Every structure is written in C-alpha cells, then in structure tokens.
Structure 1
Amino acid sequence: MSQEPPYVVEDCRGAVQLMSDGTIRRSAEPAAVFLMDIPDGDLGVEWRDVTYDPEHGLNARLYKPRHLGAANDARLPVLAYFHGGGFCIGSGRWPCFHAWCLRLASELPAVVLSFDYRLAPEHRLPAAQEDGAKAMSWLRSTAAKDPWLASAADFSRVFVAGDSAGGNITHHVAARFGKTGLGPTVRLRGYVLLMPAMAGETRTRAELECLPDAFLTTEMSDMYARLILPDGATRDYPAINPAGPEAPGLEAVAMGPMLVVAAEHDILRDRNAHYVRRMKEEWGKEVELVEFADEQHDFFAVDPWSEHTDELVRLVRKFVVDHMDTE
C-alpha cells in the first residue's frame, strides 16, 4: 500500500514549514517579504560576523562606525539587538535586519551587536529567552574584551533592544539582569522594545479587529503560538505573556528605563499598552510608550528607509542619549 506523502501542516511565510509527518523544512533564504535592496554605500559602518555560542552554532553580527566623531577618542554606547520573526524565522544576516542595524550604528551612533537565537519549532520557548541570557553573558565575557570593539565601544553604556520576538527577549533580559546583573564593568542603561511579541488567552480588541491583509494577522499569531509553545502551555505562558496572569511580579527587580514602541494597526498594540501599564502602575518601572499612527507591525523592517523609520531612528537615538549616563 502506498503511503501518502507528507503535506504542509503549518507554513510560516514560506521560510519554515511543519510537515504532517513531523519533519521541518527550513529555507536557506530569507522570507520573501524581508528581501530588499540596501542602498549603495555602507553608511560609514564596518561589520563582521562571529559565533557567540558554538554549542548551538549561534552567530552575532558586530557593527561599529568607522569614525567616532569630533572627539575621535570618545567611545560609543553599545546596543545589543535581537531580531524579530515570531521566534520561528529570521536572522541578523537577513537584509532587513542588517539594514536596520546599519542605520542604528551609523545614526545613533553606537556599536551594535546583533544576536541570532534558536528558532522554533525545532527549539520551542523558552529556548530563545535562554539564548538572550547567553548573549548577555558573551557580551560581558568576550565582547567587552574584543580588541576589534575596544577602541569604539563603551561597555559601561549598554542598551538592549529588539523587535517583535526580539522585543520579547529584551523584556526577559531586563527581568533577569536588571541594571547590574552583568557585573561592575558592564552597565545596562536601558531597554528598547519595538512592537514586542506578546500573546494571551483572551482576545484583545486589536486582535479581533485585525485587517485580513495586515502584515501580522491574528491567524498568523495563532500559528506562531502553535509552533513555539512547549507541550501543555497556553498563550498565557509567561515567556510569551510577560504581563499576563501567570507572569511573576517584577517589583523587586531594579531595571533601567524602557522605551516601548507600538503601531496603531498592529494586533500587538493592546498587549503592548497593557504591558506598559502593568510595568508602570504595578511594578513601578520607568517605561515610556510611543505609538506610531497609521503603521503596522515591524514597519521599519519592511521598509528600513521610510519616513516613519527615520522618525523611529531619531526616537531611539534620543532615548539612548537621554539615558547614557543615568544612575
């Protein structure tokens, strides 16, 4: 008797597919929606790739401006960055995230460390959050002593940032390390969460009113949940719902200030706003929420050169400048 060939059960933007026999097909190429041309010129930034976790083959792309500015001897703040992709797809080497990190390195300016992490469904949560912690440990033990970075990077002024899934990882880094968890010479000054990925069992208004042609739909979010959650976990699992009913309180964690960026037409808008309210009103954290009107989820990754992306770069720059030396 002939056996039915395996068929696609879940398809994540064509970049990864879960098959009916349990196997996983992962494309070597970026998802088509994230492919783009990067304008001529490198914005005065040089970069190189390193492996920060040999056990799992995890890479980081390191960026530094060629010229440090008028002082020429003043070192720059460090921005550790985690890309988006629903915890299932993405890499700092994808053109969209590479272009974004080039802009951040050039225009903040800053030394940018763009970290990959293990992806689902091969590695379900909390693998990604665990890799965020590993990245911070590598930053302290290796990056802070790297001769290539030494002349440019001031590791007493470290910021952590990420978009979507990477924004979620950023929250967990903040909760785990606070201000001083990386030791006396590496100081975490603040966190930037760009449309951070969050879920929950109860539907929000933004999820219910999602447009069918949205960049991130409610149906896609449900698919991501099926691919990333460990067996038996619901969408209130604390790794994906850090302000939900099962999440631990953070009153005792001394965190640096946070900037949370939301988008008007993003299904995550209401969850991001709820997260900010709980962080501020219940847990006493310094958190600023900025919402971009008429924009969708991860708009800056889809078009790293748009006017709203220009505005976002200026917003992140102001946050970094304002908090570089706060205690």
Structure 2
Amino acid sequence: MSSSSPASAVSGSAPRHVVEDCMGIVQLLSDGTVTRCLDYSHLSILRHVPSDLPVEWKDVVYDANRGLRLRMYRPTAQGVGDGANKLPVLAYFHGGGFCIASYEWPNFHAGALRLAGELPGIVLSADYRLAPEHRLPAAYEDAEAVLSWLREQVAAGAAADPWLAESADFGRVFVCGDSAGGNIAHHLAVRLGSGALLLGEPRLRVAGCVILWPYFGGEERTASESEALAVGSSEFDPGKNFDQMWRLALPLGATRDHPAANPFGPESVPLDGVPFPPVLVAKANQDRMRDRVAEYVTRLRAMGKPVELAEFEEQGHGFFVFEPFGKASDELIQVLRRFVYAG
C-alpha cells in the first residue's frame, strides 16, 4: 500500500524522477510529489508484541482538524491508578528521523506497553505529521497540540476522558521521546522554559523531560559521525539515512545547523537563561551519534541545568525500539522508573 501527496514544489520541465529514496519507504520526486509506502511489513526491525501484558490501550484523536491521533495506555493491575494512587503521565513521541514510523509500529507499541505497565504510568504515544510532506516545525506544532489537548482534558474535570479522569496525575507530566522524539522533547522543554509555550492550566505541570538518544545534527561532523560515514552496515544506516532524513525534514535550503537540528547552532535560542525541568538523557555508547549526545549533556550541565545521564555501554541507537524486551531495555525501564518516581 502506498500514498502520494504534494510536498514543496520543485520547478523544472524534465521528466519526473526520484530525487530522494529513504529506505524504500519515502520517495521525494522531482516535481515535489512524495510517494509513501504504508506497508512496513518488509522491515526486519519489526517485532512480535506479547498479548498478555497487564495494560489496556485505545486510540484517541487529539487534533481533529489534522486527523492526528495518539494511543493511550493504562495499566490494569488492581489498585494501580485508582483514587489517591493516580499515575504520572508520559507524553511520548516516537523516533524515525521526522520522516517515518508511527505509534502503530509493533516496536513502539511494545515499548509503550512496557512503560505503562512497568513504571507504571499513563502513556500517551502520539503520532505527528511527517516530512517531507510536512517539514519542520510541523512536528513541533503537533507536539504542542498534544499538550494543548491534555490541558483541555485537565480543564474538563470529570468530563475528561475517563481513563485520564480516573487515573492521571496531571501534576506529574513528562515529555518523552526517542531519537527524533527526543529532539521533540528537547524543543518542548525549551519552549516551555522560555515562555514561548504556556500551559495555561495551573493543575497541569511538566515535571520532567526524558530524552532517549536524541536526534540532533550539525554541519561540523563529530568523530563518531565521521566513523558512521566511513562504515555503514545497518538497515537504518546512521551515516546515510540520518543525513538524508535531515535533508527531507528541515525547511528547504536549511543546513544541519538549523535550530531544529543543532540546539547550539548559530541561530539557536541561547539556553543559558532558559529554565529546564529535571532532564534524563539516555546515551547508547555504540550509537554513531554518541559524541553529539555527550556534548548536549555537558553543555546543559555547564549551564546549571538539572540533567541526569544514563549510559548503555554495548547498545546502539534506538535499542529500546529495536529490542523492546531485551536486557538493555529492562535496565532502561528501571532507570526511567527511578527518574519518574523520584519526585
């Protein structure tokens, strides 16, 4: 199954041809048209999801105008999330270089099940508009819309979604994400801290930010990125695909020093005076982006931001997505539980 839609127009009278082919999933054509494969079954990363986890879930529309949905997860263990024992809320944004993936992918579904059941917590795993049909800042706008939807739920009180009304602690909301979703979580934290994004509801509080192997970039290569360009072997080749996804996701004509990609770029908002909530950053030490993640943590700490770093020695980019029930993912769940429930 595939879909075709217009992107930013590209002029020219030559016969239409493929300008960018991203893993056979997204093709950008010379006339600006985008062809997107909607059948991901050929990808070897997709995993089976156990059906016996003590979690219930449902899909909810959070932006009717754009037809955007999120998947809400709630643990079903007796007494969990009831009455005074309400649960923290994790607004989670999936990875995929801003160009591919969905909360419906079995891997992201499995990870959300684990988070909901084992933290425990209410997980809101949100889709957002993808590039190149919708270049940045579209994904950031959609992430803000998730928080706006959550604000409306808080204001609705007893008339809110019953799962949230019964089980959610709106004073303990965490913005979370992996890879591109980690990038989104960072930008949400910056907009909240700078006052560019106002929650407008005193009962709604972002208590922390969880950034898993964030997808950042920059024109100047780090040592680990240069290594990726020289040696690339995986289906999601960090040397090839990450650069390609930036070309597809950033505004036309932008470089990897655009503020969306480089949080410390020449046009980025200075972060020294921007308050941050407590931040947990997960760094995979076999990730080709590990140097950039380390720089992010070092620079935030130098500014006095409350940043905790969790390192995973033998893991690569996206290990929680690729192996959501692996041993490293078990460790990650424990780290997340400590962070979320640390108060």
Q: TM-score, normalised by structure 1?
A: 0.92
Deviation, structure 1 residue 100: 0.3
Q: Deviations over 1:155-200 (max 9, x none)?
A: 1111110000000000011111239942310111101000111000
Structure 2 Cα separation of the partners of residues 68 and 92 of structure 1: 26
The aligned residue for residue 148 of structure 2 is 137
Contact 1:7–1:19 (Cα < 8 Å) also in 2: yes
Aligned to 1:159: 174
Aligned match of 2:220 in 202, 223, 232? 202
1:128 is matched with 139
The aligned amino acid for 1:23 is T
Could you say which residue in structure 2 is the equivalent of 1:269?
290
The 1:120–1:238 alpha-carbon spacing in structure 2 relative to 1, beyond 3 Å, is same
Task: Give the counterpart of 2:324 among 291, 300, 304.
Answer: 304
The aligned residue for residue 168 of structure 1 is: 183
**Correspondences of 1:10-89 after superposition (within 5 Å):** 10-30=20-40, 32-41=43-52, 43-67=53-77, 69=79, 72-73=82-83, 74-89=85-100
Cα deviation, 1:42-94, whole Å, max 9, x if unaligned, reads x1111110111122211110011112547843111111100000000111111
Kept in 2, the 8 Å contact 1:33–1:302? The answer is no
Name the CA distance, whole Å, in 1 between partners of 2:325 and 2:315.
Answer: 14
Q: Higher mean Cα deviation, 110-119 or 133-142? A: 133-142
Compared with structure 1, are the counterparts of its residues 68 and 288 closer, same or farther at alpha carbon in structure 2 (3 Å cutoff)? Answer: farther
Distance 2:29 2:80 in 1: 56
Contact 1:207 1:267 in 2 (8 A): yes
The corresponding residue for 1:292 is: 312
- Structure 1 position 265, deviation (Å): 1.8
Q: Could you list the per-position Cα deviations for residues 3-60 of structure 1 after superposition, in whole angstroms to 9, with x for gaps in the alignment?
A: 987443322222211123332111122361442211231x111111011112221111
Letter in 2 for 1:224: M
The partner residue of 1:259 within 280, 295, 306 is 280
Residue 188 (structure 1) aligns with: 206
The answer as to whether partners of 1:45 and 1:63 remain within 8 angstroms in 2 is yes
Length-normalised TM-score, structure 2: 0.88
Q: Counterpart amino acid of 2:148?
A: S
Q: Please list every run of 5 or more consecutive structure 1 residues that lacks an aligned counterpart in the other structure.
A: none
1:8 partnered with 2:18: yes
C-alpha distance after superposition, 1:280-307 (max 9, x if no partner): 113x211112221121110110111110
Q: How many residues align?
A: 319
Q: Distance in 2 between matches of 1:233 and 1:105?
A: 38
In structure 2, runs of 5+ residues without a counterpart are: 1-12
